[in-house]
């Protein structure tokens, strides 16, 4: 029998799971698995409002994800983070993302003189450059040993959620048989976001003059709008028959072979502990990205 949805993400030497509670499980250097609650997920009427629920769910994913990353680093390496380090890191990460995936593609496209007066073609070419930069970025990350371990925990998280949603017993043997690919993965969401941005900016180009100011402002202002649209597409895909979903979401599912790696048994054990902790207590389970 198919179970309700849960979400999660990989952290440093561990996994964050979002169910009735937000819980992390992290393996310390001595081999012990530490399980801690990060907080409870709030429910409300907004969870049923299309295009609004996506913003809230993304907010909670980021909120608990950031807290979990900071805490997992402290547990795994037994080092307490200095006050303000986490906030500074988040600020720099946001600046990097906006600059790398929005400002840089716009700048590179502007170098093509034949596109400057045709905003529709400009937006189209810019979108494909944005996707190319993103793919190169993910591929480069996958080459680093430290990131590889996080990708393994990402695979363990997916396998565990797939096992749970399929109604399988949460043991390392059963979980290891499951796929490390999941249709609600944040990777899939990012690919949908990048593809949706091509269509959104191309459509808007029919109504606005191609000025530098318009391009700069629109690329930043439209981020939450495109994110909300992308979330609804992700939810819609998850409701389709499996074969149809896989066909339509193929680019995002394929990308997960880069952002996840096959985990070992010890990593699967950590993911199981995190999910078991997230399912304890009262309340609704999260309808959030895996």
Q: What's residue 83's pLDDT? A: 61
Pair of tokens at residue 194:
């990048």
State CA 281 to chain mean position distance: 25
Pair of tokens at residue 197:
């941005």
Rounded Cα–Cα distance for residues 182 and 287 (Å): 14
Rounded Cα–Cα distance for residues 146 and 156 (Å): 16
Torsion angle in degrees (nearest 10) through CA of 279, 164, 249, 120: 10
Q: Which of 193, 215, 186, 207 is nearest to 130 (CA)?
A: 193
Q: What's residue 81's pLDDT? A: 65
Q: How many residues does the chain have?
A: 290
Q: CA–CA distance from 260 to each of 9, 181, 229, 267, 281 (Å)?
A: 11, 8, 25, 13, 30
Q: What values do phi and psi take at 129, rounded to 5?
A: -65, -40
Helix axes 145-165, 250-259, angle to 10 degrees: 130
Helix, strand, or coil here: 17? strand
For residue 52, the tally of other CB atoms under 10 A from its CB is 14
Q: Which of 195, 197, 205, 199 is nearest to 120 (CA)?
A: 205
- Sign, Cα dihedral of 90, 95, 98, 104: negative
Q: Which of 270, 256, 244 is nearest to 184 (CA)?
A: 256
| Tens-digit pLDDT string for the chain (290 aa) | 345 578 899 999 999 999 888 999 999 999 999 999 998 877 777 777 888 888 888 888 888 888 898 899 999 988 776 666 666 777 788 888 889 999 999 999 989 887 767 778 888 899 999 999 999 999 999 899 999 999 999 999 999 999 999 999 999 999 999 999 998 888 999 999 999 998 898 888 888 777 888 888 898 899 999 999 999 998 888 888 888 888 888 999 999 999 999 999 999 999 999 999 999 865 555 566 67
Rounded Cα–Cα distance for residues 73 and 138 (Å): 22
């Amino acid at each position: 029998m198919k179970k309700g949805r849960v979400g999660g993400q990989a952290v440093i030497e561990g996994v964050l799971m979002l169910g009735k509670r937000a819980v992390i499980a992290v393996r310390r250097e001595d081999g012990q698995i530490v399980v801690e609650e990060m907080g409870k997920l709030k429910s409300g009427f907004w969870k049923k409002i299309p295009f609004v629920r996506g913003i809230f769910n993304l907010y909670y994913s980021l909120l608990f994800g950031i807290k979990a990353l900071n805490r997992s680093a402290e547990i795994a390496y037994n080092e307490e983070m200095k006050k303000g380090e986490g906030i500074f890191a988040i600020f720099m990460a946001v600046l990097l993302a906006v600059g790398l995936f929005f400002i840089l593609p716009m700048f590179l496209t502007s170098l093509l003189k034949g596109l400057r007066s045709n905003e529709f073609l400009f937006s189209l070419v810019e979108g494909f450059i944005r996707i190319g930069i993103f793919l190169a970025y993910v591929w480069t990350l996958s080459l680093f040993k430290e990131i590889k371990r996080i990708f393994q925990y990402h695979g363990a998280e997916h396998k565990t959620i797939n096992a749970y949603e399929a109604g399988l017993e949460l043991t390392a043997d059963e979980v290891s048989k499951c796929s490390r690919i999941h249709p609600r993965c944040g990777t899939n969401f990012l690919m949908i976001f990048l593809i949706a941005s091509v269509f959104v900016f191309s459509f808007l180009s029919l109504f606005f003059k191609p000025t530098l100011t318009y391009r700069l402002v629109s690329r930043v202002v439209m981020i939450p709008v495109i994110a909300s649209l992308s979330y609804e597409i992700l939810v819609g895909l998850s409701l389709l028959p499996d074969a149809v979903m896989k066909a339509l979401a193929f680019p995002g599912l394929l990308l997960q072979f880069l952002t996840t790696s096959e985990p070992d048994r010890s990593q699967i054990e950590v993911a199981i502990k995190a999910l078991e902790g997230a399912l304890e207590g009262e309340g609704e389970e999260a309808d959030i990205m895996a």
